[in-house]
Structure 1
Amino acid sequence: MQIRRINTNEAKLFFNCLKNIDRETKFMMLEPDERHFDEKKMQEILGDKDDYFIAAFNDGEIIGFLSAQRGKYKRIRHSAYIVIGIRQSFQKQGIGSKLFDKLEEWAKENRLKRLELTVEVSNTIAINLYKRQGFVIEGTKKNTMFVDGVFVDEYMMAKVY
């Protein structure tokens, strides 16, 4: 397994990973049928030098990813919003921790002061990973998503340097 930045020419690989994760879990934002491939748009997103898109590669396939989208405006330039996803069959193998280790390097290189994310309150595996990485719960967002006919809450979590 290799963890590295995703290249723009790997847009389709990244998209396939996202689609697979959408099918395997209800903890991500999109339903399985909501994501559509637009290669040009995906390449633009991956090519944004301010943001950070890394992946865990295994046998030519992306099996997990972490994205950090940095604040675009001066007042929030010191922060980044984090999204992470790992294919179900590769979870609980330390991949999430390795992705966060790479994030930590990037955050320090870029002098970030705040990393933030949201997570469904019932996603205890992810919450425990984030806490081990130094994130703390800052609050609860009520009824943020509607999953399988039920409104679910999310924690707002952050790591401040």
Structure 2
Amino acid sequence: MEIRKIRMEDADNYLDMLLNLDNETKFMMFEPGERPTDINIIKNIIEKSINGDDLVLVATDEESIVGFISVQKGEYKRIKHTGYVVVGIREKYRGKGIGSKLFSELDIWAIENKITRLELSVICSNTIAKHLYEKNGFEVEGIRKNAMIIDGKYVDEFSMAKIYNS
């Protein structure tokens, strides 16, 4: 298992992993078949990571990407110190410490890039992910009521953040 920054040659593998995640969990944004499959969108995301504007780290098992963590940095002056985090791990690789390794690498990147606030949201019923985030320094700041619709029902999300002392 390797954790590393995404590379341009990962584009097809990364998209494939995301499409598989969409089918394996209801805790991510996209429903099966909803995610855009234009490889140029993925290449643009990778380009921003390579250039240092944002971050995408991948977890690999031999040739396959099995998980990721991404951060979209605040674009405007007043929020340049912030980053919005998304994380996903393929079903058969969960519970093996990959999430903690991804967050450990994220901490290094955040400090190097003068990020003092990381934010994420998690569906309230996703207790395993919430525990991972809390274990890695995130705290619940509030609840977003009716944040998503899953299986025709409204679900709430926790808004969570991690603050780095500057």
TM-score with structure 1 setting the length: 0.98
Partner of 2:13: 13
Q: Which moved more, 1:33-42 or 1:138-147?
A: 33-42
2:72 is equivalent to residue 91 of structure 1: no
Q: How many aligned residue pairs are there?
A: 161
Provide the rounded CA distance (Å) in 1 between the counterparts of 2:3 and 2:64.
12
Partner of 1:55: 58
Structural mapping, 1:142-157, within 5 Å: 142-157=145-160
User: Alignment partner of 2:105: what SS?
Assistant: helix
Provide the rounded CA distance (Å) in 2 between the counterparts of 1:29 and 1:101.
24
Partner of 2:45: 45
> By how many angstroms is 1:36 displaced?
2.5
AA of the residue aligned to 2:4: R
AA of the residue aligned to 1:125: I
User: Alignment partner of 1:126: what SS?
Assistant: helix
Structural mapping, 1:1-161, within 5 Å: 1-48=1-48, 49-161=52-164
Gaps of 5+ in 2: none
- % identity of equivalent residues: 49
The ranges of structure 1 where at least 4 consecutive aligned residues each deviate by more than 2 angstroms after the TM superposition are none
8 Å contact kept, 1:9–1:43: no
User: Alignment partner of 2:28: what SS?
Assistant: coil
User: Alignment partner of 1:65: what SS?
Assistant: strand
> By how many angstroms is 1:17 displaced?
0.7
> By how many angstroms is 1:9 displaced?
2.1
AA of the residue aligned to 1:27: F
RMSD of aligned residue pairs (Cα, Å): 0.7
User: Alignment partner of 1:134: what SS?
Assistant: coil
> By how many angstroms is 1:37 displaced?
1.6
TM-score with structure 2 setting the length: 0.95
